[in-house]
Amino acid sequence: MFATGACIRTRAGGHQSEDAVTATVGAPQRDYFLGLDALRGAGALIVITAHMPDKTLFRLMPSAHLGIDFFFMLSGFVVANAYLSKLERGMGLWDFTLIRLIRLYPLYFLSTVLGAAFFAVLLLKGWADFGWGPWAATLAANLFYIPINPSWAISAGEVYPFNVPAWTLFWELAANTVFALLALRMRGWFLAAVVFSGLVMISLSAISYGNLHQGWAWENFLGGGSRVWFALFAGVALHRLHRQGKLPRIGGTMPLVALTPFAVMALPASAELRPYVDVAVAAIVLPVLVTIAAYTRPRPGFETAFSSWAGRLSYGVYVLQMPIIMIVGTAYAVLFDAPYETLGVFGTLALMGAVVAAAWAADLWFDTPVRNVLRAWHKGVKPRAAAEAAANSSEARP
């Protein structure tokens, strides 16, 4: 939110080597890692605690901001697993970008519209200190993933005021583009140099800012780029090692693996030690956790179903959390005439449940149907484009 050598999940649930499958069907297939799905679900819940009105749960996890780096690393592994072989076999940048946008944009669009609607209500009620001009400019920019100039936006602080965590998607899409462009070189010393350069960048950022909690505001936006550069390409490197059979095989039980991120994010640190703790967790602890999860297989039944469900809903939980929190929190404040910080722990858990329910509903009735339509369109575009290219080529012959 991944046996010695790269493994492929067969229809019967077993595994066979990648070389065997390649010899059989002529091209490598990708594995499916339910252990990583469980971690993606855990990561989404960890990030939510940082945005809840009541900070009781967040104070129990003082390193929860590293959930973002965890997400980036998981994303790097998953994206490499899904697309590296395809890019090596000739998938173009445009095709890759379209596929990634089809995966990410529908829920991003929904979350941005919900955030815009929330602030529009504040405007209509006279509760806002901005006008319709900044609101429209913010909406136009955010809908296209563009970080808006602070002087034009509804807020001078956040880069994406309608959905604050969206800054991560901007940097992830940027890193995905670099990954696609350099996919043929993403191996050996070159990949090691990319990851090491990211480690240097996050180390300098952590020391400069005092922590790795960067990227969400204009004052630390560039720090978010260093975080995604290191974590995402570290995930790509872990996948490359896994595919080559060089990743240490250290699996675990699914319940323990799924709960470990919460223990990691509970690591305390003083202000003086915080930058060093953050870098150590990002550079050592998180890769180990991803490695363990890559080799963890859930038992059939509940564990398998839960891991799959957690992975499926993790992105929706992540991208929809802020609009839902703002809407429900403000409704609580209006209905009960009390600051929404007074929700308390039980109210926070209920609000987290509302976010999960919203992600489930959005997946069922919006994201999946929209993506199915867009995928069908994309599959139709590719043959037409190939036919037109062939026709143009034949017409150009003397």
Task: Report the amino acid identity of residue 282.
Answer: A
Judge whether 229 and 203 are in contact, CB under 8 Å: no
| Terminal-to-terminal C-alpha distance of the chain | 53
Tell me what pLDDT residue 325 has: 93
Residues in the chain: 398
Tell me what pLDDT residue 303 has: 92
| Nearest CA among 20, 8, 179 for reference residue 84 | 179
Q: How far apart are alpha carbons 179 and 182 in whole angstroms?
A: 5
Both tokens of 383, joined, read 């043959």
Query: DSSP label at 298?
Result: P
Tell me what pLDDT residue 379 has: 87
Judge whether 142 and 112 are in contact, CB under 8 Å: yes
Give the pTM: 0.86
Judge whether 107 and 316 are in contact, CB under 8 Å: yes
Q: How confident is the model over 31-57, as pLDDT tens digits? A: 679 999 999 999 999 999 888 888 888
Tell me what pLDDT residue 250 has: 86
Tell me what pLDDT residue 32 has: 74
| Nearest CA among 7, 32, 22, 29 for reference residue 304 | 32
Q: Give the distance from CA 321 to its chain's centroid.
A: 13
Tell me what pLDDT residue 384 has: 54
Tell me what pLDDT residue 382 has: 61
Extract the residue ranges of the chain whose pLDDT is less than 70.
Answer: 1-31, 382-398
